[in-house]
Amino acid sequence: MNGSQELEMSTVLECQSKIPVDLFLHVSLIPAVLIVSVLSFLQIREQPLAIDHHLPFLRGRFAIVVPMDMISSLSNRWSYGFAFGAVSSNVLLLFSERYVPFTVPPWARAIVYLIGALEIGLVYFPFFACLSTPFRGPGAVLGIVYSLAWIIVIVWDTFTCPHGEIFGRYEKIIVQWPCLFSLIFLLGRFVYILVKDIRIRLWKEQEELEDLNKHPNMQHVKRLLRKTPVDSQQLSWFQRRVYLWDPYFKFPNRIIGTAILSIIGLYIMTLADYILSTAIFDQAEMWKNQLEHLVMCNETRALEALIPKLEEFIDVARKCWLATTIFASLNSVAYTFHILACYRKHLRRLWKGQKRFIPEKFHKPRAATSVASIARYSGWQIAFTLWGYLIVHFVHFLFALLFVYVLVLPIQHDKVLQMLSSLGLILLTIGLVVGLVIVQIVLVQIFFLQDKMSPTDKEKPLALNNRKAFHCFNYFFFFYNVVMGFSNCIMRLLCSLIVGTWLVSRIDRTIMQRGYEGMDAGYSTWIGMIFADHYHNNPVMVCFCHLLVTNKLERLTVSAYSTFDNMPSECPVYSKTRRRWMLFYTLLKNPHLIPFRKHHLSSSSLLQMSSSPQSDMVVRAWFMASQTQRGQAMSQMSPEDTVTPEENS
């Protein structure tokens, strides 16, 4: 056994002499900067700067490259999510000592973490930038090259040296496969983008323009304006109790990326937890064997009775920790998906104007706090999820030990009667406390409340009866309630501790008492984020603002032409009416073109009429004629081809 461990350690040391992934992480800064520079050169700034006057040959190039829209974008959501998945392994590398090849003093660790976070953000910036850039062809080519380089390095490092220091054999294969899968997904996505761009350039495929009628916000508004059906479909048990799917609600890129990175982080954390706990329990057994050998040599009777109990505790603790690892992992994964459901539920409540589920002090959050919460949420949610897993796992472990030592071991050791007597004493004490609380309520209900004012009332009114007897009742129960208050105070503290630790990873709920919610930084971040998303992504507000902007642009660009060009095919009569209306609109705006017509009046008379009050009569005449011909055309059209007055105007 020692020989195999030495062979494994020598293999690990040999693998460390090769090019590791963390070294490639530092080297890849150079191609990452080059890719970002190329994408920045391709983009043109919307507003010129002072440097453009000194360097006119740049023509406004080297604009800011945006990695992703974390507020309102709904495109490439899963691609951005797997881009976050590609970062997962190196995010946890920040907390390891091998990230920095040299020793760092303890006071400088915070600075090292900041520099490391900036470095990882810059190294993985090309994945996000190549997805978000409007230049699809060059972005796809650069994304293919960069992702292929990362895949080759990770595959080479994983399969040539699969061993590790923490997980032992096949450590890198177990740890790196989520990152590798994410990179392969990104490679396929970049290839798809490149092929599609080539087909569009070769005129074999048309570019897909965003259809606002199919946008989720537009569909949500249409559903609001649609009448509710009389016979609605009955919801299934899963839809009523677990989750009700909404086809018109889309999670933004930030939420999907956070969920994927949280799940991958939980996977790595669970593996590390299992391996490290196994090593700790093996070390505990080794210490137990050494203690047993010491007792046998010294013949110490005092410690001899302790060895079986220690051996039993190590065995029970190992099994309880393994069982609770599974439950804690499932609990954390369920919390991750439950937070997604709460995000949708809270946003939909805000869209309806309901704020009762939020403490009153958060009803009007500060603008700066809400915008900063968007930047904080993803990192804090991942950290809360990982810390919550460890804390919940420890709580589960304590409950499992309590269950085994109270119920399981007494049964195995044939101490059932002793166990039942102890449980009976505990349950009897709790029963008496709860029973006396219920007795007080029942006595007050029967003797010390006035009768119902109406037979239809469900409960008696809050009005005292038999006041003298109530004062005596209150006096004698005063002393007992003091004693009972001690136990209830302990129970209140334990319940608060258990619920608080159980919900520590739930950032959508506060673990503070009412009135102290502001001290919960995680909950404040959640409230600020959903308010920011509400103000920027409310479907009704977005559609209303889109209508305002569209109408303004139509007025500035002569909406008549754009309106008529966007109309579907119509019948010949209506087409003739449309052409005449366009002709009149052109001549009204450009009267100097009238003399150049084939059938025209004298130029002076027409110009005089166009500047006289009679021009209004001409406009009305043309409008009435167009409306008459339009009525004839509408009578020959089907109901589906009918154009609304707003579209005709």
Q: Which pLDDT band, with edges at 50, 70 and 90, does 605 fall under?
A: very low
* Across 563-572, average pLDDT: 46
Better-predicted residue by pLDDT, 55 or 450 = 450
Q: Is the pLDDT of residue 631 over 50?
A: no
Q: Would the pTM of this model clear 0.75, i.e. be above it?
A: no
Q: Which among 607, 604, 572, 562 is positioned nearest to 587, based on CA atoms?
A: 607
Q: How far apart are CA 84 and CA 264, in angstroms?
A: 10
Better-predicted residue by pLDDT, 175 or 136 = 136
Q: Which among 215, 208, 36, 44 is positioned nearest to 128, based on CA atoms?
A: 36
DSSP state of 514: T
Q: Which pLDDT band, with edges at 50, 70 and 90, does 642 fall under?
A: very low
The position carrying tokens 């190294």 is: 123
Q: Is the pLDDT of residue 144 over 90?
A: yes
Q: Which pLDDT band, with edges at 50, 70 and 90, does 16 fall under?
A: low
Q: How far apart are CA 314 and CA 84, in angstroms?
A: 39
DSSP state of 59: T
Q: How far apart are CA 335 and CA 316, in angstroms?
A: 28
Q: Which pLDDT band, with edges at 50, 70 and 90, does 632 fall under?
A: very low
* Across 362-385, average pLDDT: 86
Write the CB contacts of 467 (distance below 8 Å, at least 6 apart in sequence).
Answer: none
For the beta carbon of residue 412, count every other beta carbon within 10 angstroms: 11
Percent of the chain scored above 70 by pLDDT?
Answer: 77
Better-predicted residue by pLDDT, 555 or 392 = 392
pLDDT at 217: 77
Task: Give the chain's length.
Answer: 649
Domain boundaries, the chain: 17-204, 243-558
Q: Is the pLDDT of residue 621 over 60?
A: no
* Across 192-213, average pLDDT: 78
Q: Which among 256, 375, 266 is positioned nearest to 328, based on CA atoms?
A: 266
For residues 68-85, one letter each, b for 16 or more C-beta atoms within 10 angstroms of the residue's C-beta and e for the rest, the string is bebeeeeebbebbbbbbb
pLDDT 10s digits, 77-94? 888 888 888 887 777 666
pLDDT 10s digits, 281-328? 888 888 888 777 777 776 666 666 677 888 888 889 999 999 999 999
Percent of the chain scored above 90 by pLDDT?
Answer: 9
Q: Which among 139, 176, 131, 184 is positioned nearest to 24, based on CA atoms?
A: 176
Q: Are the beta carbons of 535 and 369 closer than 8 angstroms?
A: no
Q: Which pLDDT band, with edges at 50, 70 and 90, does 569 fall under?
A: very low
**Token pair of 3, please?**
């020989």
Q: Which pLDDT band, with edges at 50, 70 and 90, does 608 fall under?
A: very low
Better-predicted residue by pLDDT, 641 or 386 = 386
Flag the least confident range among 13-27, 301-315, 512-526, 541-555: 13-27
Dmax over CA atoms of the chain, in Å, equals 132
pLDDT 10s digits, 194-204? 998 888 888 87
Q: Which among 275, 247, 81, 38 is positioned nearest to 165, based on CA atoms?
A: 275
Beta bridge partners of 449: 464
Q: Which pLDDT band, with edges at 50, 70 and 90, does 52 fall under?
A: low
Q: Is the pLDDT of residue 254 over 90?
A: no
Flag the least confident range among 266-280, 307-321, 588-602: 588-602
Taking CA atoms, 648 is separated from 136, 168, 641, in Å, by 38, 74, 13
**Between helices 29-42 and 109-123, what is the axis angle to 10°?**
50
Beta bridge partners of 44: 61
Instruction: Specify the amino acid at residue 22.
Output: D
Among 8-22, 275-289, 326-340, 603-617, the range of highest mean pLDDT: 326-340
pLDDT at 566: 44
Q: Which pLDDT band, with edges at 50, 70 and 90, does 145 fall under?
A: very high
Q: How far apart are CA 67 and CA 432, in angstroms?
A: 64
Q: Is the pLDDT of residue 435 over 50?
A: yes
Flag the least confident range among 232-241, 256-265, 277-286, 466-475: 232-241
**Token pair of 139, please?**
């972005």
